[in-house]
Structure 1
Amino acid sequence: MSEKNMISDETIEYVGILAKLELNDEEKERAKKDMGDMLDYIDKLNELDTSGVEPMSHVFPVNNVFREDVVTNGDGSKDTLANAPVMKDGGFKVPKTIG
């Protein structure tokens, strides 16, 4: 862990409060080391020359996979209502079930 990425005790306390964690002293020291290692790794990645790399949001190309919403066979209501014993206003007429 480099000197510039040393994590302070106050930072660990603050992160613990935000995450609602109660860490003992050993866990705090391990968290400080882990966070510092992560920041060192980010610094290492920032050294890479990415000037010719196109930014992306996914590793694989993502295309719209949804089909166009087009009615192909209608709703079939006429065929369905053809079997109704009694129709009313384009629907089935049924006996009243609530008093």
Structure 2
Amino acid sequence: MSEINAEQVAHLANLARIALTEEEIEHLTAELRQIMQAVEKVSEVATPDVPPTSHPIPMQNVFRDDVVGDVLTVEQALSGAPESDGSRFVVSAILGEEQ
């Protein structure tokens, strides 16, 4: 991998329309070099025989059976509503939207 230099950082900042001082460019150049070195180290060990992983240990979802239990009737659900039309909640329009 080629090493990043201050001119490249300045060019990227210009493309992103970010105004950077010379001091900021030098600081970011050093940080980006460290990042690129870390990526190079990972690339050294990331060979085709090593499968990619997102976690160091195998993970699996734990599911339970989806069983219908006791549910509220329409009347029970609407009993505490400030306003209803008999089969659903009535709510006032918001943000000036009329139905």
Conserved? CA contact 1:7–1:35, under 8 Å: no
**1:80 lines up with 2:38 in the alignment:** no
Higher relative contact order (CA 8 A, sep 6+): 1
Aligned to 1:30: 27
Report SS of the residue matched to 2:45: coil
Q: Displacement, 1:36?
A: 1.6
Instruction: Flag the structure with higher strand content.
Output: 1
Partners of 1:17 and 1:68 in 2: CA distance: 55
Aligned to 1:57: 54
Cα distance change of structure 1 residues 5 and 31 upon mapping to structure 2, 3 Å threshold: same
**TM-score, normalised with respect to structure 1:** 0.53
Which protein is bigger by CA-based radius of gyration? 1
In the alignment, structure 1 segments of 5+ residues that lack a partner are 84-90, 93-99
Q: Deviations over 1:14-46 (max 9, x none)?
A: 332355432111111121122122212221222
Percent identity at matched positions? Answer: 28
Letter in 1 for 2:51: E
Cα distance change of structure 1 residues 67 and 46 upon mapping to structure 2, 3 Å threshold: same
